[in-house]
A and B are shown apart, each in its own frame.
Chain A
Amino acid sequence: MSIDFEFRKLVMDHHIGSDLIKYCYQCSRCADNCPVTRVSFDFYGTSGYNPRSNILNALLGYKDAIFDADPLVIWGCTVCDTCDEVCPQNIELTEIFTFLKNESVKKGNAPEYLIEQAKAICDSAKAIPSQPAIERRREQLGLPSIVAPNVEEVQTLFKNIGSDKYLD
């Protein structure tokens, strides 16, 4: 396994406002409280989702162990933020996992639903575009119409930031 120092630096930079990730002592409270670890991890640790290993591999720069493995290693996270709360070192694990997911998107390994949602947002400025049937239901319920967002502004942001190229 090789160490990627550039990747390591990016991980350290991503941790908002501190270098706390350095002080992870692998106590495993994150994995012990992770709902996905609970339902996916087998006793001998050969498969399943494990936030503790992700932090270790990210911190050490073991890029291959994260990105060349089963996508579950990254995409098993359900973003419940429980690990952030139980970590005795106040490491913002979910922020690190967000960075890993963003990198995985750039490698073309994102799950389909995620790309579908990003496309919908780029096309209509909403994750769930408005539909005639729901508009009628809103009217029946006595609700005002939804004020249309500025789609062009959203498309400009996507394009300038450069993430429109990961939509296909």
Chain B
Amino acid sequence: MSHLSFEELSQFIDKELPNWRMAEIKEHIDNCPACKEKLDTLLLIDQSIRETYKEYNTEKFSAEVLERVESKPVRYSFRLKLATIGVAISLAFGITFGFLRSTYRENLEEEKYKLISQHYIISSGDMGIIFISDK
């Protein structure tokens, strides 16, 4: 009785042989302690490999994946929001400053003409200084 080859035992474990050969091998193993031992060794190795399968922290993993999935649109939206706020602040500041400036100028002009209407102009300098005396 010849012993089974390593390849055949391996394929026997994996059930990758035709049914008739599977039956023959099973019968052989039942009657051959040497082949049975070889088979048990291979089964032990397979079982040991199964035991190396690890259980990971899937909650942490899942949280990290979801964060990465969400992070791109959130980041984009945050940047967009930041830009919008920046533009709004600039506009508000510009408009307010412009308004205050024009109001100030109008008031200044008004004061100037009021002053002129109440006084004689003696002379005006190059630098826009007006010398006046009371009417």
Do A and B associate with each other? no
